[in-house]
Each structure stands twice: as structure tokens, then as C-alpha cells.
Chain A
Amino acid sequence: MRTYTPKSDVQKKSFYSDRFFVKPSVPRKDVESDDVFLEDLQSFDGLFQIEDSYIELDHLVLIINPNDNVNVIKHLKTEQSYDFLVELTAVDYLEKKGGFEIVYEMLSTSKRKRVRVKTFMKQNETIQSVESLYRMADWSEREMFDMYGVKVVNHPNLRRILMPNDWDGHPLLKTYPLHGNEAASWYEVDKIFGKEAREVVGPELRDSACVDRYDTNRFARLGHEVSKGTTISQGNEPDTPIRYQEEGGVKLFGAKLVTPFDEIETVHLKERK
């Protein structure tokens, strides 16, 4: 028998997978298959420890020790002419491995090659900033700190960048809910009305698709309309009879009776005017 998995959160993750389904992997090539990358890799011999290296979809991937990150990137920049640090980000592996993978995506305009330097750091560790080598790391590392809470040392200005300074939690962590946590739903209420108004205003509805069918102040009950602000609850729903206005015609402002649609008297246009 197939193992039981809860199916109530269908939208949240894939609930079904075949027993015999084997996940395929992106093909990886040896570094020997590319001369330029091989030369890059060999230039590291005796300098830094490269834990693993392979070519994945035209990128040379180097997995390094987290303490070497500045030196390795400096080496790539000065010796191997990787003049651009294109992207810098973290990947959350807290659940699986208890830490983050930091990814540095580099580009050489003279060689027309891209290198991805990856390193794994534990949750409580810190990582050195590469801001002294590439100014763009200033903002990228701030974003990484903001989104994942990764602590970067020697950064000139490690503040949040996208979220407000007093925000609670780091939004791109896998543990952070999609619609925000409890603090998020009170954030704007506290800012606009003040903490003391929490009881009156109530938390912000952060799920934009949420419809409360018993809330007659903020939602129209389509097909079951009641006047605004009526208190209703389950079992206490008024029965709304459905009437069609065509039956017997429509009265316009009490004067003219608009007769229902008559197919025989309708004029069909031969062509669009």
C-alpha cells in the first residue's frame, strides 16, 4: 500500500508522486572537458582547498570552504580575470543540513565564461563580506541578510534593504509562511493605529484570496446579499430568494416600464457599424 500523506494542503506542496518515480538529475560534466575551466581550476592548486568541482549547464561550479570565500573570489578576480560578480545569494538548507549555501555567480567578459562559487555555512556561523572586492556585494549581502538572516562580517552597512528595519523574521526562510507570520499581520495596524487599537482593528488579512463569508462589512455575499454590517453566523444565515428582474419587466425610476427582451421585435444588424 502507498504510504499515506495528508492531502489537505494540496496547494502547498506536491502531494502525489509515483512509487517508482526516480528523480532525474541535470547532467554534470568533468572539468577536464573544458580547457578554460580546467586552467582556472588548476590555478588553485596548492593555494586553496576546492572540495568539489564540476561543470553544470555551462557553468564551472566550485565548492569551497566558507573561510576561503574572500581569497578564492579575489584569486578569481585578479588572476583569472573574472571581472564581474554577477549575483550573490543564499539557499536555505536549514531543515536538511542545518545551514545555508552561499552562492557567488561570477562572469569573465574576456573569457566569456561563468563560474559559480558555492560554500556551505552552518546557521550560527558568519561569513566574510566580499564588498571590498566588488561594490555590488554591498547591496547583495544586505539583501541576503534581509531575506535569510545570514550574518556577514566586515560589511560596511549591514541593514535590511527590502523589508522595514523593524520587521520580524526573514521572509525567504523556508520556515517563514507565505502570507507572513503573526507579527506581519499586526505590523501595519501598529504603525497606523497604534498598538492600543489592536482589539478594535483586528489583524490585517494578508491572504489576498481569503473570503470570510460571515464578514458582512468587508465582503459582499454574492447571490446571498444582506445589508452591510448584518450580524450573521453559521446556522443564522438569512434565506435570500433569487429573483430575476426580467420577469414582468424592469421599472426605471418609477416611470417607464422596460419590457422584457422580445426576440421577434429585435433588429439584427447585418454588419458592424
Chain B
Amino acid sequence: MQQSNRLKPFFENINFEREDNTMVVNFGPQHPSAHGQLRLMLELQGEEVVKATPDIGYLHRGIEKMGENMIYNEFLPTTDRMDYIASSSNNYGYAIAVEKLLGIEAPRRAEVIRTMLIELNRIISHLFWLATHALDVGAMSIFLYTFREREYAMDLMEDYCGARLTHSAIRIGGVPLDLPKNWTEDLEKFIKTLESQIPIYEGLLTKNRIWKMRLEDVGVIPTEMAKSWGLSGVALRGSNVKWDLRKEMPYGLYDELDFNIPISDKCDSYGRYKCYMQEMYESSKILKQLIPMYEESDTQLMAHAPDYISATKEEIMTQNYSLMQHFVLVTQGMRPPVGEVYVATESPKGELGFYIVSDGTPYAYKLKCRAPSFFHTGLLTDLLPGHQLADVVTIIGNLNIVFGEIDR
């Protein structure tokens, strides 16, 4: 019986304790370790999860609907807001999808700068992942160390494009700006610092008994489950599948670059942690190779395709036809050929794909963003049962999910 003088807890029509002795816990959507707006309905038997039901949609902004109502260039800054930890990767994925639809290629220097940005962004994203994941698991100090290096990386981003989080520095057809003076030297300095710092993070965690107890054999994703759920990125490589789009289906400059794909056959959180740490080394290795490639490249930054891409600023200001073309492209937008394209890139989270259906008008007829985190969250339904409640936080943090791209 409800006692009238007691406050009755309101659990949104969920039975808190049920007859079969399982307890229903509503984890999120505002839980600090839910990494955004994840609501998990967990049925617990003691402290063991019996059933997990992820509930998403708390950050749904209708980005795909917006994509159908904006011209192609207008939509590019919106892609920043998907995976906001690594926004350049989103810009890049969208830009090369549209470029493939148009049948154009970015000039070499632009491609070098783009690759620098997305690899730098990968490092930023991995550092952020390490910081928040370790914080969730209880290692507070690592957060302070990684955020220091992330700050340096974001300063580099800021020097290049002025923004720190939502860059929009990669455009359809190339990049708008060349690297500022001495940027590559700063980048070299950063790589040097980072490479001296990663062993410190590893020293704090890799052999740490608590860290190993919390991560080893926790969140084991068998290869079959990973494939069935369409996992990608480190979640897939941590499940013993050697699959990195940069290596296996190269795009951009990746077939010219020398790097390794770390994989783990343990399939657990600790294996994925090791992959992430190794990937940071690989990214800095890529960045080092890009610096001489930048210096050798020609100075052109935007593709020459008058039908789709505006001319350079200098030409717009001096030549009448370029100005007219620019005016049409800004007010009406480019009209890509009729057709469909699906282009996938390896974002820090996994396979980020853009499926665009064009009907020849300046607006995409259909734009679908294939976000890796969406499926990584769906996996929780199958992965969490059998784990302890404390492991739930480890698994969510370890899968590196970002709600901007899950809900879109």
C-alpha cells in the first residue's frame, strides 16, 4: 500500500522491483558515464545484468532531414555536429562522398592537408576516449595528462582553421586555406611531445592491476557477433578482424602511406585499449610522413571544376565569369549528376559512410549517414547480459560511442 505521507518515486512506468526478483535500473540518459544521452534499461539479478535495453534518440536533431533541405555546401558544417569529438573526419567523409558523386578529385596539397587534419583529429579523439574511459573506470589522473596533449593538438587545429571543436576545415573539392607559416614545425613538436607522453599513459595503465582487473575479459565481443552487428573500427579490430578501410580499401593518400593495423585476438576491452594506444602511434607515424609530402606538393588547394566548385578568391575578385559562377553556386548550389553514391571512410569510431541519392537538383534527394556508433550501441543489447553492473560503465566507455552520430 502506498503511504500517503511518503513520496513515491517516479520511474516512468517501469516496475522498480519485480516479482521474479529482478530489479530494473534506469541508467541515464543523464548519467555522467553514459557518454551523452544514452538511456539503458537494465534488468539486474543481484548485480548481474540479465537484460539490457538501450534507448536512444535524446539527441536526435534530424540531421538527415536537414541534409535533404540544404544545398551540398550548406550541409557540410552540419556534419561537424555528428561525431563532434572528431568533426574533421565527418567533414572528410561527406566531402569525398560528394566529390565521388561529382567525379572530381581534390588537388594533392589539399589531400595532404586533409589527411593531416583527420589524423590529428584521430589523435584528439583517441586521447579524449582514453581520458573519459579511464575516468569512468576510476583512473582520475590520466584524464589530466591526456587533456593536456589534446589541448596542444586542438591548438594546432585552431592555428589552421580558427575552430577547436567543430572545424569545417575540409570542403567539397579541397580545403579553403593553406597551412599557416611554421605549422608543420609545430606539428613536428607536437608529435615529439605526444610520442614521449603515450608511454607515460601506458605506464599508468597497461600493467596497472586495477585497470587490468576492470578491463580484462570484460565485454568480450566474439568475431561472429561483431560481424553480425556490423561493428567497425577498433571494436572490430579488437575482435580479431583485420579490417581497416584505410588499408583494405584505401581512399585519399592512404595507399601511399606506411602504417600498421593493430588488432587483438583477445576480443575484450583490454585488447581494444591496446589497439587504441597503438593507433595513436600509427597516426603520428602517418603525420610524420605527410610533412615532406606537403612540402613537395603543388600549391593548388581547390579542385578546378567550374560547374561545381567556386574559383579561387583571387579569380572571383578579378574575373567576371568566376564571380558569376560563384554567385550561382552560393545562391543556388551545385547540381551534381543524377545517381547514387555510398562512400565509407575510417573515422576514429569506425566506418563512417554517407549514402547520397542525387536527382540532379541542388538538394540531396536522400542523405543517409551510416554512423559506426549507432551499431556499437545496438550491440549493447547482446553484449551486456551476463556482466556485472560495474562493467556496464567500462563497456560503454570502451566502445567509444558518441551520441551526436548515434542520434544524428
Other A-B pairs beyond A162-B60, A164-B57, A178-B65, 10, CB < 8 Å: A23-B337, A26-B338, A56-B340, A89-B355, A89-B366, A91-B357, A91-B366, A109-B243, A135-B229, A139-B374
**Structural contact, B56 and A57, CB atoms closer than 8 A:** no
Decide yes or no: A14 and B382 within 8 Å by CB, A89-B368, A112-B248 being known contacts.
no
Q: Which residue of A lies closest to B62 (CB)?
A: A171
Contact of A26 among B56, B64, B339, B344 (CB under 8 A): B339
**Structural contact, B230 and A84, CB atoms closer than 8 A:** yes
Q: A151 at the A/B interface (Cβ < 8 Å)?
A: no
Binary contact readout B140-170 vs A (1 if CB under 8 angstroms, 0 otherwise): 0000000000000000000000000000000
Listed by A's residue number, 28 A-B pairs whose Cβ atoms lie within 8 Å are A14-B333, A14-B362, A23-B338, A23-B360, A24-B337, A24-B338, A26-B101, A26-B341, A57-B341, A83-B227, A86-B370, A87-B355, A87-B368, A89-B368, A105-B342, A105-B353, A105-B355, A112-B249, A135-B225, A135-B228, A136-B378, A139-B375, A160-B57, A161-B56, A163-B57, A172-B65, A176-B65, A178-B69
A57 to B370: give the CA distance in the assembly, Å: 18
Q: What B residues does A135 contact at CB under 8 A? A: 225, 228-229, 378, 382
Q: Which residues of B207-247 are within 8 A (CB) of A?
A: 225, 227-230, 241, 243
Q: Which residues of B343-363 are within 8 A (CB) of A?
A: 344, 351, 353, 355, 357-358, 360-363
A171 to B408: give the CA distance in the assembly, Å: 13
Q: Which residues of A236-267 are within 8 A (CB) of B?
A: none
Q: Which residues of A17-51 are within 8 A (CB) of B?
A: 21, 23-27
Contact of B363 among A13, A116, A163, A164 (CB under 8 A): A13
Q: Which residue of B lies closest to A23 (CB)?
A: B360
Q: Which residue of A lies closest to B358 (CB)?
A: A26
Q: How near does chain A come to B324, taking the closest CB pair, in angstroms?
A: 13
**Structural contact, B56 and A162, CB atoms closer than 8 A:** yes
- When A and B form their complex, which 7 residue pairs have the shortest distance between CB atoms, in order from nearest? A26-B339, A23-B360, A136-B230, A162-B57, A139-B378, A24-B337, A135-B228
A255 to B366: give the CA distance in the assembly, Å: 64
Q: B335 at the A/B interface (Cβ < 8 Å)?
A: yes
Q: B407 at the A/B interface (Cβ < 8 Å)?
A: yes
Binary contact readout A55-68 vs B (1 if CB under 8 angstroms, 0 otherwise): 01101010000000
Q: How near does chain B come to A197, taking the closest CB pair, in angstroms?
A: 20
- Interface size bucket, B side? 35 or more
Q: What A residues does B378 contact at CB under 8 A? A: 135-136, 138-139
Q: Which residues of A118-150 are within 8 A (CB) of B?
A: 134-136, 138-139, 143, 147
Is chain A's binding surface mostly helix, strand, loop or mixed? loop
Q: Which residue of B lies closest to A87 (CB)?
A: B370
Decide yes or no: A162 and B353 within 8 Å by CB, A24-B338, A26-B337, A85-B230 being known contacts.
no
Q: B31 at the A/B interface (Cβ < 8 Å)?
A: no
A83 to B227: give the CA distance in the assembly, Å: 7
Q: How near does chain A come to B224, taking the closest CB pair, in angstroms?
A: 10
Number of interface residues, chain A, beta carbon within 8 A: 44
Q: How near does chain A come to B319, taking the closest CB pair, in angstroms?
A: 21
**Structural contact, A109 and B375, CB atoms closer than 8 A:** no
Q: What B residues does A138 contact at CB under 8 A? A: 378, 381
Q: Which residue of A lies closest to B375 (CB)?
A: A136
Binary contact readout B313-342 vs A (1 if CB under 8 angstroms, 0 otherwise): 000000000000000000011010111111
A56 to B338: give the CA distance in the assembly, Å: 11
Contact of A163 among B60, B243, B351, B361 (CB under 8 A): B60
Decide yes or no: A25 and B227 within 8 Å by CB, A86-B353, A91-B357, A171-B62 being known contacts.
no
**Structural contact, A86 and B228, CB atoms closer than 8 A:** no
Q: Which residue of B lies closest to A143 (CB)?
A: B374
**Structural contact, A57 and B339, CB atoms closer than 8 A:** yes
**Structural contact, B339 and A56, CB atoms closer than 8 A:** yes
Q: B365 at the A/B interface (Cβ < 8 Å)?
A: yes
Q: B189 at the A/B interface (Cβ < 8 Å)?
A: no
**Structural contact, B100 and A57, CB atoms closer than 8 A:** yes
Contact of B355 among A85, A103, A163 (CB under 8 A): A103
A56 to B103: give the CA distance in the assembly, Å: 12
Q: How near does chain A come to B346, taking the closest CB pair, in angstroms?
A: 13
Q: Which residue of A lies closest to B357 (CB)?
A: A91
Q: Which residue of A lies closest to B361 (CB)?
A: A14
**Structural contact, B248 and A25, CB atoms closer than 8 A:** no
Q: Which residue of B lies closest to A162 (CB)?
A: B57
Q: What A residues does B228 contact at CB under 8 A? A: 134-136
Q: A190 at the A/B interface (Cβ < 8 Å)?
A: no
**Structural contact, A109 and B241, CB atoms closer than 8 A:** yes
Q: What A residues does B339 contact at CB under 8 A? A: 25-26, 56-57
Residue with the greatest number of chain B CB neighbours at <10 A, chosen from A109, A112, A176: A109
Q: What B residues does A114 contact at CB under 8 A? A: 342
**Structural contact, B57 and A13, CB atoms closer than 8 A:** no
Q: What A residues does B248 contact at CB under 8 A? A: 109, 112
Q: How near does chain B come to A105, taking the closest CB pair, in angstroms?
A: 6
A163 to B340: give the CA distance in the assembly, Å: 27
**Structural contact, B338 and A87, CB atoms closer than 8 A:** no
A143 to B371: give the CA distance in the assembly, Å: 13
Q: Which residue of B lies closest to A174 (CB)?
A: B68
Binary contact readout B363-391 vs A (1 if CB under 8 angstroms, 0 otherwise): 10110101000110110011000000000
Residue with the greatest number of chain A CB neighbours at <10 A, chosen from B56, B227, B353, B408: B227
A86 to B243: give the CA distance in the assembly, Å: 14
Q: A16 at the A/B interface (Cβ < 8 Å)?
A: yes
Q: How near does chain A come to B133, taking the closest CB pair, in angstroms?
A: 23
A21 to B341: give the CA distance in the assembly, Å: 22
Q: How near does chain B come to A143, taking the closest CB pair, in angstroms?
A: 8
Q: How near does chain B come to A205, taking the closest CB pair, in angstroms?
A: 16
Q: What A residues does B363 contact at CB under 8 A? A: 13-14
